[in-house]
A and B are shown apart, each in its own frame.
Chain A
């Protein structure tokens, strides 16, 4: 029962480098989310996918792109990393619909951009 799996757990990038954060869930959930967490800021939504085949911007989408590869996987890409993107990134998934409104989170990816 893995739940939501994020890779890698840690990453250090130089400014301008690109990378993709991977997220996979094995709960057959419809909706998936990417958040970033910064000290004193709580979690801020970057992008979300309400269902397979759809993606939408969240609160802080600039500098990021996403791909809902299939129902299980939702990746987050940084095309040209900036120091302001140093953060902890969390992926979450939800069954879907208001009646099943529980989001399950991965353990996070800690990213430092130098």
Chain B
């Protein structure tokens, strides 16, 4: 059973389009992170959100943490081929040392 569900699993869009990736759970997390992973590499942290309702922007990427701290979204504006990759959300519960990862969204941005 996946504690963190990501949708969609796959997304293929044209350069310049906007997209949103969702990360949902029935559990509350103390913080939530988004990672991006390229083929042959390990995941690289993009952002950490901690407060319910928090919105963080990283250039064309906007991250939001749900008010109840159970869900999060990643919105990319004017996607570029360089955004292609696997996007993973990961949640931390309370004082655990452990991150729980979602199943990932594989994004392909076509030129």
Contacts and interface: CB of A to CB of B under 8 A. Distances in A.
Interface of A is mostly: strand
Interface in B26-85: 30-31, 33, 40-45, 48
Contacts of B90: 43
Given A40-B9, A42-B88, A45-B98, A106 B42 contact: yes
Nearest to A31: B97
Interface of B: 2, 4, 6, 9, 30-31, 33, 40-45, 48, 88, 90, 92, 95, 97-99, 101-104
A42 B103 contact: yes
Interface of B is mostly: loop
Contacts of A42: 2, 4, 6, 88, 101-104
Contacts of B6: 42
11 contacts: A41-B103, A42-B88, A42-B101, A42-B104, A44-B101, A58-B98, A90-B42, A101-B92, A103-B99, A108-B40, A108-B41
